[in-house]
Structure 1
Amino acid sequence: MNQFGVLLKKEWRENLRNYKLFWIPAVFILLGITEPVSNYFLPQILDSVGNLPEGTIMEFPVPEPEQVMVAIMGQYQLLGLLVLVLAYMGTIAGERKSGTATLLYARPLSFKAYFMSKWMMASIIALLSVWLGFLAGYYYTYLLFGSIDLMDLIRFGFTYSFWILLVVTVVLVASALMPNAGLAAAVSLGVIVISQLVDGLLGAYWPVSPLKLTAYAAAWFENGPDLADFWWTAGTTVLLIALLLVLGIYISSRKAASTKI
């Protein structure tokens, strides 16, 4: 078996042993279910805990099913991304700091296989979690608010998957670059949050950007995004991910000497 296969199997066992294969999807499923359920029972919740004067009547507009799915994506943009950063911030930095990477670095090692095996397993778990969360959210949205066109849902999830892959790549590159997991998390969150703030302030000037993926995902539930801008954005995202992967492989090999013995 080649090195990539051996290392991928190692990553599988490690994610199985530390339960990431279970708790990360569970968190995304919980977030996906919570949004439609909380929206549906919001009037009753406020009525029971709001301490409102007797006779007060509060009417809330019933959200469209598509709006609920976009709200689920909003939860992923906040809590979901934080979960992924915390789960994978120590993927490489943690191994170096603890000294466990010494067992690998002491042997002839392909750093391409090393980094790509970690990226592949993290990406699989992240995408699995997101899709399971969306499907769980869709099921409860269908029960409580109505149906959504299946093709729009697939396009929505497919578009958001590009963004998730980019986030996972940023986290792993930061983990390869930083000396410990805490700094890797800080750098990852800093890059993600600051870039989104910049896009929120100045994004009207560039329709083609990986930062537009969430907006284009939501647009599938309306009239759809501009296809030219969407495909250019998707292509730019794939190119950026590829460049970050090359950078991550290079940094991993350069930082091998800093491993604690």
Structure 2
Amino acid sequence: MRGFKAFVKKELIEFTRNYKWIILLSTFLFIGMSSPLLAKLLPNIFSILEMGGLTITLPEPTGMDAYSQFFKNMSQMGIIVLLLVYSGILSNELTKGTLTILLSKGLSRNAVILAKYTVALFHWSLFFLIGTIINHVYTIYLFEKTSFDHLFFSLFSLWLFGAFVLALILFSGTVTTGNYGGLLLTVVLLVIGLIANSFSALQKYNPVSLATDNLEILTGEVLVSERIGTVGLTVLLTTTILVFALYFFKEKKV
């Protein structure tokens, strides 16, 4: 595959030169630090608020509350920021014409898609790991209970959903035009997934459940065995989406 390594290097260098890494780093640092802190301080915040004489008493927070905040923030704020940062991963270069020049010099179209996905997945993995480590360190410091069953599986499920979203973004960029077509299609597909996830019979076939059931896996409300199939299906869907992205990009006029 001609140009894969060179294009990966180009993507890595370009990423360090623009503002995107700052946005991602800031977001995941914030999620990692704020989640356990918010869980710890929330009862105190409610205790000092005057709500028309109504007293709200919350139970003593635990490490589970910290991870509840973490999964909520990561699956909402984290995924949204990831989506916005990478929404133009393909369309921006097509609009500017830089890809046209590179392709005319012999760069493989497959190399473009695979290199962009590889670099995006690397960044998602790196910043997700940073946020996770910071969250866990703060949780250990602030709370007594910091050992949870199936924590790795819960975190892996959320990471895999992010990998699925990145593949979806690339695919959407190959079948739409303009700077925002790919973003719009990706959002529509994710909204459909969210709606489908409201039906319990569809959840085990829906990648979205990997980003919504993380806390339930920790508490045992959802068994790991119930989501193993979802993980396998998501890996298959991600691979299939990338194959379609390769095909449609080969057919796309640039």
- One-letter amino acid of the counterpart of residue 21, structure 1: W
Query: In structure 2, what is the Cα distance between the partners aligned to 1:253 and 1:2?
Result: 14
The yes-or-no answer on 1:102 pairing with 2:104 is no
Moved more, 182-191 or 17-26: 17-26
Q: Name 1:247's counterpart in structure 2.
A: 244
Query: In structure 1, what is the Cα distance between the partners aligned to 2:56 and 2:221?
Result: 34
Query: In structure 1, what is the Cα distance between the partners aligned to 2:147 and 2:47?
Result: 33
The one-character-per-residue Cα deviations of 1:135-190 (angstroms, maximum 9, x if unpaired) are 21122222222332267332221222111110111112112222123222121122
SS in 2 for 1:117: helix
- One-letter amino acid of the counterpart of residue 107, structure 2: L
Query: Given the superposition, is the C-alpha separation of residues 110 and 145 from structure 1 closer, same or farther in structure 2, using an over 3 Å criterion?
Result: same
The yes-or-no answer on 1:135 pairing with 2:139 is no
Q: Name 1:177's counterpart in structure 2.
A: 175
Moved more, 74-83 or 220-229: 220-229
Contact 1:90 1:180 (C-alpha < 8 Å) held by counterparts: no
Q: State, as a whole percentage, how many aligned pairs show the same letter.
A: 24
The one-character-per-residue Cα deviations of 1:33-77 (angstroms, maximum 9, x if unpaired) are 1122123222444466x4556x87542223331232132111122
Instruction: Tell me how many residue pairs correspond in the alignment.
Output: 254
Query: In structure 2, what is the Cα distance between the partners aligned to 1:109 and 1:2?
Result: 6
Query: In structure 1, what is the Cα distance between the partners aligned to 2:228 and 2:26?
Result: 32
Moved more, 76-85 or 39-48: 39-48
The one-character-per-residue Cα deviations of 1:102-134 (angstroms, maximum 9, x if unpaired) are 221212221111100000111111122122112
Moved more, 128-137 or 224-233: 224-233
Query: In structure 1, what is the Cα distance between the partners aligned to 2:227 and 2:44?
Result: 40
Higher relative contact order (CA 8 A, sep 6+): 1
The yes-or-no answer on 1:6 pairing with 2:9 is no
Post-superposition offset of 1:31: 1.5
The yes-or-no answer on 1:230 pairing with 2:227 is yes
Query: In structure 1, what is the Cα distance between the partners aligned to 2:78 and 2:120?
Result: 14
Contact 2:205 2:230 (C-alpha < 8 Å) held by counterparts: yes
TM-score of the superposition, structure 1-length normalised? 0.86
Q: Name 2:24's counterpart in structure 1.
A: 24
Query: In structure 1, what is the Cα distance between the partners aligned to 2:148 and 2:25?
Result: 22
Q: Name 2:207's counterpart in structure 1.
A: 210
Post-superposition offset of 1:206: 4.9
Please tell me the root mean square deviation across aligned C-alpha atoms, in Å.
2.5
Moved more, 2-11 or 138-147: 138-147
1:33-112 map, 5 Å: 33-46=33-46, 50-52=49-51, 58-112=56-110
TM-score of the superposition, structure 2-length normalised? 0.88
Contact 1:216 1:225 (C-alpha < 8 Å) held by counterparts: yes
Unaligned residue ranges in structure 1 (runs of 5+): none
Contact 2:87 2:183 (C-alpha < 8 Å) held by counterparts: yes
Query: In structure 2, what is the Cα distance between the partners aligned to 1:134 and 1:165?
Result: 16
Aligned to 1:115, which of 103, 113, 116?
A: 113
